[in-house]
Amino acid sequence: MYDGTFPLPPLPRGRARRRTARGPALALVAVLVTGCGADAGSDDRTASEPASAGGFPVTVDNCGVRTTYEEPPSRVVTIHQHPAELMLSLGLRYVMVGTAFPDSAVLPALRKDFESIPRLAEREPSFETVLAAEPDFVYGGYGAAFAENEGRSREAFADAGIDTHLNREYCGEGEVTMDDAYEEIRTLGRIFGVRERAGDLVADLRRRVAETTEAVEGAPTVPVFVYDSGDGSAYTAGGRGLGTEIIRLAGGRNVFDDLDEVFGDVSWEQVVERRPEVIVIHHYRGAGSVERKKEFLLSQPALADVPAIRNERFVVLPLTATLVGVRPPHAVADLARALHPERFR
């Protein structure tokens, strides 16, 4: 829990009211921009903070909630790690007053800034804990960030005068792709008045992916099984999730790309039949250690003849690497090096 070690910045004066409304759930985040010219933030700026942010007001439809921002939010709490990493990648540390629920090791380039942000809770914080940080914007990574049964619904925050944004992956409709990751970055760039930074970040991430796909072009496609968790059955990545596209761009093929879900259960008999040559193990808090997962897989007699088991070809990816945000392009490069090491010598 936050212990006051890091001082919270003062509340800005004279903030404009925002208009929030609810409409039908949308598969994509649409951003409508009107108007121009509004100064952002307070006078106490850092090197990362833009001198001004034009293009406001900005209206965003996000998972059925429409919000009009008259100016960029200035006090932000992120719930879950991938929203925090996205914010930091956009140079927005100066508005972050709290974060919660780190899943895995933070990207090295972001670690120092991430550790300087007050940690409000080790898992999802209570509504009251979030309110105590006095945010004007809460950005959630998983749907659980705004769990109604725990008092953190988006309506509850709206009633408290706090705007919210949920990672587009959890709007609940359609297949999740790398384009969703890029659009999420652009959307946050619009909300915070840092469109150019967002565009530069997307361009850099696209370049990373392009360099990787060029490196593995023409290499034999490697059958890959994703093991998230499970013992009686295997909980794995299906064809509707971003993980399948990451595998494809890295020069592999998800052996369960025909599973019409983002994640779902399959039988071990199916795993044996599909003969994966590499197993990707997801690492995240609360799902057991990677070593324990490896030991379980290697101890199952029924899996002994699976090529990935026989050759002990395991690749570990943090779950956050497969979620909409800045991580997926990095995951493409990491996975490609494991699938096709000969292309990166």
Place of tokens 């008092």: 151
Place of tokens 């039949």: 273
Report CA Rg, the chain.
Answer: 21
Please give the tally of structural domains in the chain. 2
Domain boundary, last residue among 158, 193, 228: 193
Give the model confidence (pLDDT) of 321-333 as tens digits: 999 999 999 999 9
Within a domain: 6? no
- pLDDT at residue 310, as a whole number: 97
Extract the tokens encoding 209. 């992916």
Dist. CA 213–CA 279, nearest whole Å: 20
In this structure, of 163-172, 179-188, 245-254, 335-344, the range with the lowest mean pLDDT score is: 163-172
Q: Where does a domain end: 193, 228, 243?
A: 193
Q: Which tens digits make up the pLDDT trace of 293-304?
A: 999 999 999 999
- The burial class, CB within 10 Å (0-12 / 13-18 / 19+), for 205 is buried
Same domain, 337 and 252: yes
Residue 111's φ and ψ, nearest 5 degrees, are: -60, -45
What's 143-188 look like in SS3?
HHHHCHHHCCCHHHHHHCCCEEEECHHHHCCCCCCHHHHHHHHHHH
- Predicted pLDDT at 289: 84
pLDDT value of residue 15? 35
Note whether 185 and 241 are same-domain residues. no
Mean residue pLDDT of the chain comes to 85
User: Which position has the higher pLDDT, 30 or 123?
Assistant: 123
For residue 110, pLDDT over 90 is answered with: yes
**pTM of structure:** 0.83
Same domain, 184 and 237: no
Residue 90: name the closest of 62, 43, 53 by CA.
53
pLDDT at 44: 35
Q: Are residues 98 and 27 in the same domain?
A: yes
Question: Do 138 and 23 belong together in one domain?
Answer: yes
- 231 and 184 part of one domain: no
pLDDT confidence tier of residue 147, bands split at 50, 70 and 90: very high
**For residue 29, what pLDDT is reported?**
31
Q: For residue 7, is it within any domain? A: no
Residue 107 lies in a domain: yes
Note whether residue 201 is domain-resident: no
Say yes or no: 84 and 157 in one domain.
yes
CA separation (Å) from 284 to 95, 106, 175, 207, 328?
A: 27, 12, 23, 27, 15
Above pLDDT 90, what percent of the chain? 76
Co-location of 242 and 149 in the same domain: no
Query: Can you read off the two tokens belonging to residue 242?
Result: 């971003």
At 170 the pLDDT is 87
Q: How far is it, in rounded angstroms, from Cα 146 to Cα 190?
A: 22
Would residue 127 count as lying in a domain? yes
pLDDT at 3 over 80: no
Both 162 and 226 in a single domain? no
Cα torsion angle, 259, 260, 263, 267, sign: negative
Q: Do residues 267 and 158 share a domain?
A: no
Q: Are residues 156 and 282 in the same domain?
A: no
CATH number, domain at 242?
3.40.50.1980
Helix (H, G, I), strand (E, B) or coil at 212: helix
Provide the domain limits for residue 239. Answer: 219-344
- Among the candidates 176, 193, 210, a domain finishes at 193
For the cut 50, the answer to whether the pLDDT of residue 6 exceeds it is no
Would 273 be classed as within a structural domain? yes
Decide if 187 contacts 168 (C-beta within 8 A). yes
Tell me, yes or no, whether 296 and 262 share the same domain: yes
Residues 6+ apart with CB under 8 A from 110: 85, 88, 89
